[in-house]
Amino acid sequence: MKNVLAILLLGSLLAISGTLAYNLYEKITAQPVYVGSGPPSSIPPGQNANEPVTGIASKDGENGAATASMPATASSVPAKADKPGAAVKETTVKMSDKTYKYIGEVVNGVAHGQGAAYYPNEQKRYEGEFVNGKITLVGKTFFEDGKLRSEGKKVNGVIQDIGYNEDGSVYSEMTRPENNKLGDAKIYSPEGYLQYAGQVTSDSVIPEGTGTEYHSNGKTRYTGTFKNGQYNGTGTFISDDERDKYVGQFTTGAMSGKGKFYEYGTIYYDGEHQDGIYQGKGKFYMNGAIAYDGDFVNGNANGTGKMYDNGKLVYEGEVVDNIPTGNGTNHLGSTNLKISITIRNPGVQQSPGVSSFNVPQGVRIPTKGDILK
């Protein structure tokens, strides 16, 4: 009789639109109303199909004997989807320009939410939060042998990440507002001294942007702009004994472009160069006073320029291998003008026992976890 009343009640409710009618039916009959085209599911709304179904069992006498809920099949999926529109799937993600298998929450075909990326050997590369296909470092990264590489958390919208070497020593300490592409970090050498402080990439913690690199004695080695861990843009390089200094442009880790070279604080070249070899327009100084202003080719004064004696102009015209040819104007009034200057190129070792500027090759910071021998 109860079932007949339920059917009559449901029939009358079909004429009533709205959620209240369905709610009323469910309260009276203690059974849900399914409006989909397929058969009713035994999984409560919002529960993942791979999770154990709890709290539902067939009643005795209905559809056969009583049955307990079945446990879900074991899966490598990290967690159920908990983002709107997210589904747990397998796809790929890129980390540090490498592609990894990904299993986790996916939105519109892209990793978004909680998930894990895997090395080819199936060890986890990263486990934690992804946003639009990229890691946020709110989670853990691992070396290929499974050792912890970094661990991060989010505090008041700021991501805090600590990186480790394979021996467990601290490699880096980074903070990054969650909406920033770059973070700020301190990177330590394998020996433990502070090696770098400044901006870094968020995923691999490599110098990117502005920062300062330090010598092992704590003195500044380079301060300026970086790209992919190398000096790139403008900056200042200082030797560990503070004898030599360069202020100017860098390209992919080497001095190149325009810059000024100093020895013990006294300038000796200002102009264009390639890898520390004078090339193009420049000014050469002797004891802080200008000696030549003009063209340079392969490290020597070649072309057209002006020569000075203690700051006084003595010749302007053609110069070949640092010597005036006479094809120009002699401001000393002598027809037997003989002037020669010795050019010191910072990128070339002049002779045994004579110091030359060491051309920097970019920041010598190991990739996270690597140990410099």
Domain end residue (candidates: 146, 171, 206): 146
Counted residue by residue, the chain has a size of 373
Domain end residue (candidates: 146, 164, 185): 146
CB 214 within 8 A of CB 240: no
Does 116 reside within a domain? yes
Query: What is the pLDDT at residue 182?
Result: 94
Domain end residue (candidates: 146, 170, 192): 146
Query: What is the pLDDT at residue 140?
Result: 95
Does 216 reside within a domain? no
Going by C-alpha positions, the residue among 339, 288, 289, 284 that lies closest to residue 317 is 339
**What are the beta bridge partners of residue 183?**
200
Query: What is the pLDDT at residue 135?
Result: 86
- 349's CB contacts (< 8 A; 6+ apart) are 356
Host domain of residue 97: 76-146
Query: What is the pLDDT at residue 203?
Result: 75
Query: What is the pLDDT at residue 87?
Result: 86
Does 227 reside within a domain? no
How far apart CA 9 and CA 101 sit, in angstroms, is 53
pLDDT (tens, 9 = 90+) of the chain, 373 residues, equals: 444 434 433 344 333 333 333 332 233 233 333 333 333 333 333 334 333 333 323 333 333 333 333 233 333 445 455 556 678 999 999 987 899 999 999 999 999 999 999 999 999 999 999 999 988 889 999 999 999 999 999 999 999 999 998 888 999 999 999 888 899 999 998 888 999 999 998 877 889 999 999 988 999 999 999 988 888 999 999 988 898 899 999 988 888 899 999 989 999 999 999 888 899 999 999 888 999 999 999 888 999 999 998 888 999 999 998 888 889 888 877 656 666 667 766 765 444 433 333 434 444 344 433 333 3
Q: Are residues 31 and 82 in the same domain?
A: no
Does 161 reside within a domain? no
Does 97 reside within a domain? yes
Does 313 reside within a domain? no
How far apart CA 125 and CA 271 sit, in angstroms, is 47
Total number of domains in the chain:
2
Q: Which amino acid is at 366?
A: P
